[in-house]
Chain A
Amino acid sequence: MSRALGWSYMAACALMVALPIVVVSAAALNSGRSMLFPPQDPTLARFTEFFVTEDVWTTALQNSIIIAICSASLAVLIAWPAAYMLWRTGSPLSKTLAGLASLPFALPPIVFGVGLGFLWAFTGVLGQMWAGIVSHAALLAALPVATISIGLQSIDRSHLDAAATMGATERTAFWSIIVPQTVPYTVSGFFFTLILSFNEFIVMFFVSASSYSTVTLQIFNSLRNGFTPTMAVGAITFICASVLVFGLIARFGDLPRLMGADQSRS
């Protein structure tokens, strides 16, 4: 009895989470300009518009992909030394740096966006795409810092001692023990950042200064004119990308552990 109750509660929750996503996906099939559910006169023409014919959307998608990949790479490059220093020394400096790197993610993004807008305006690079990439890397570096730290904590320190006893230099131990064991966590951090950068828009709004736009930013900018079925195609694309990426992380990494299922060893 209570088991059935539990199952139906979980099913209800899953349904609730899926409902808006299903509705948006169906709305993409509308042939008119308005978002109706169930869709009127279903057609796949919006998909062609989004991916092929409408320049606004193809450029935006291209920008989204470039920004997501570059900022995720940069975020990992920022996060690695921070996480490594924290694990290796545990010094107040390393704690401060790791804390600072996590600050923008923890606070309301609109404040960070306004601040970055000022920063780039003063340095004269506001509206350049690389400034947007750096902005996203700074905003999201907290994620790879967290995943890489979890990876480093899982390294058995006795392996390092063994390597040292057998005469391995610090550099050899680093490349033969630490790096291989943390690769899955680094990759997970990279993909977490990739997906979040893909979906982020408020910071991008303040740093792009309308000189370029990403898919989510484009939708955000046309908010006042209402949503259209072509935007719903964007939503479907983004959901598929997320499911694919998190599915891959789950397949090749330990997702429950990354989400903190096990007591951390320290």
Chain B
Amino acid sequence: MSVSTADITPGVAAEAAPAKRWNWGTIGFALVIVILCLVPFILVMVISLGEKIEGADWRWSLSLSNYQRFFVGANPEDVSFLYLQRLWYSFYYAVIASLLAVATAFPFVYLMTRQSRRAQTIWLVFLLSSVSLSEVFVVMGWDILLSNRSGLPMVFKETGLTDWLKEVGWFQQLRDWGLANPRNVRFKPSEFATIITLAYLVWPYAVILLYPALARLDNSTLEAARTMGARPLTVVRTVVLPSVRLPLLGAVLLLFVFLMGAYVAITVFAHPAKHTVAVSVYEAVRGATLNAPFGAAQAIVLLVVAGAFLVAAMWLSRLAERRAA
């Protein structure tokens, strides 16, 4: 996909802009961009076809064995879906967390864009500071919040909520879900903790993505609807939601792509049997297993899935712009 872009670029450009002379500056600049932004992806693609040598490094090759290992396992005799399962978990966490983030961010953005420009600016400073915060710090915060000794489980115990849960019998339900040990509730490791942290990670990002669409919403349409007697919730349902349907879906897709690459939250909060592709890429390239070609192959699978959803998101946003125009 990316190789073909590099190949056709000069020809297309020369045709479309014959008046523009090709100077050395342009060529050099184009070369820098291609080397820095495209070559790394091509390298990953080429190395994914390589082979590991037992007890040594790896060598160039043209084999699809790494992909075979990913999809059906290394031995043809006993089929294993271990890595497909990891891909499924990448997908599963990312879908739920991005939906959760967009669903809770939407009312917030709507209310925020109805405020004054000054108030919006203050909110944006707050949210940008939080969105740029490194994943390691976010995970650090949730690690404390969900830890058994000083987080939510302690609050449950101290307030008597644990005892109450035991009395009404819901405690057993939590145990079945893996959210409690015999004595108290327990959130680490759990899917709940993983998804909450991931959703938190992208929540401000969701606000920033939805902000343009809702800020550009024509206030007079909303006021007209109000004047004609529509209740606020009816206005949201019949006027606001239909006009931002595409940006909403686009935001979910972008957050999804972002979360496919999440690493720290998964290693800290998810059960090892429920780790994702991003974690096994890391393990193969730099961690315990040390198999660069296989790591590269997994990275390519991740890239293809992410790329497909990204293209869908871009297509949606273009569609939305055309509708708005």
Report which A residues bind B (CB closer than 8 A).
2, 6, 9-10, 13-14, 16-17, 19-21, 23-24, 27, 35-38, 78, 81-82, 85, 89, 91-93, 96-97, 100-101, 103-104, 106-112, 114-119, 122, 134, 137-138, 141, 195-196, 198-202, 205-206, 216, 219-220, 223, 227, 231-232, 234-235, 238-239, 242-243, 246-247, 250, 255-256, 259-263
- Asked if residues A235 and B17 are in contact (CB atoms below 8 Å), the reply is no
- Asked if residues A118 and B140 are in contact (CB atoms below 8 Å), the reply is no
Given A138-B36, A199-B133, residue A115 in contact with residue B41 (CB < 8 A): yes
Residue among A78, A114, A202 with the most chain B CB within 10 A? A114
Nearest CB in chain A: distance from B49 CB, A: 13
Indicate if B211 sits at the interface (CB-CB under 8 A). Answer: yes
> Which residues of chain A are near B111, meaning CB under 8 Å?
6, 9-10
Nearest CB in chain B: distance from A177 CB, A: 21
> Which residues of chain A are near B16, meaning CB under 8 Å?
91-93
* Cα distance, A243 to B253, chains bound together (Å): 28
- Asked if residues A227 and B278 are in contact (CB atoms below 8 Å), the reply is no
> Which residues of chain B are near A115, meaning CB under 8 Å?
39-44, 299
Nearest CB in chain B: distance from A160 CB, A: 18
Chain A facing B: main interface SS: helix
- Asked if residues B40 and A112 are in contact (CB atoms below 8 Å), the reply is yes
Q: Which residue of A lies closest to B43 (CB)?
A: A118
- Asked if residues B134 and A200 are in contact (CB atoms below 8 Å), the reply is yes
Enumerate 17 A-B pairs (CB-CB under 8 Å) in ascending A order. A20-B144, A38-B150, A78-B32, A85-B26, A93-B17, A106-B310, A107-B261, A110-B263, A114-B285, A202-B261, A220-B264, A242-B133, A246-B124, A246-B128, A246-B132, A255-B121, A259-B211
- Asked if residues A24 and B108 are in contact (CB atoms below 8 Å), the reply is no
- Asked if residues A242 and B129 are in contact (CB atoms below 8 Å), the reply is yes
**Contact with A100, one of B38, B125, B128 (Cβ below 8 angstroms):** B38
Given A24-B144, A242-B129, residue A111 in contact with residue B36 (CB < 8 A): no
- Asked if residues B37 and A92 are in contact (CB atoms below 8 Å), the reply is no
Given A13-B108, A104-B37, A115-B41, residue A259 in contact with residue B212 (CB < 8 A): yes
Q: Which residue of A lies closest to B259 (CB)?
A: A108
Chain B facing A: main interface SS: helix
Given A20-B141, A216-B136, residue A93 in contact with residue B12 (CB < 8 A): yes
- Asked if residues A114 and B295 are in contact (CB atoms below 8 Å), the reply is yes
- Asked if residues A106 and B257 are in contact (CB atoms below 8 Å), the reply is yes
> Which residues of chain B are near A206, meaning CB under 8 Å?
285-286
> Which residues of chain B are near A263, meaning CB under 8 Å?
216
Residue among B107, B141, B233, B302 with the most chain A CB within 10 A? B141
- Asked if residues A246 and B257 are in contact (CB atoms below 8 Å), the reply is no
Nearest CB in chain B: distance from A45 CB, A: 19
- Asked if residues B145 and A17 are in contact (CB atoms below 8 Å), the reply is no
Residue among B10, B38, B134, B286 with the most chain A CB within 10 A? B134
> Which residues of chain A are near B211, meaning CB under 8 Å?
259-261
> Which residues of chain A are near B151, meaning CB under 8 Å?
37
* Cα distance, A111 to B32, chains bound together (Å): 20
Given contacts A37-B145, A93-B30, 7 further A-B contacts (CB under 8 A): A16-B203, A20-B138, A20-B142, A20-B145, A250-B124, A256-B121, A260-B216
Indicate if B102 sits at the interface (CB-CB under 8 A). Answer: no
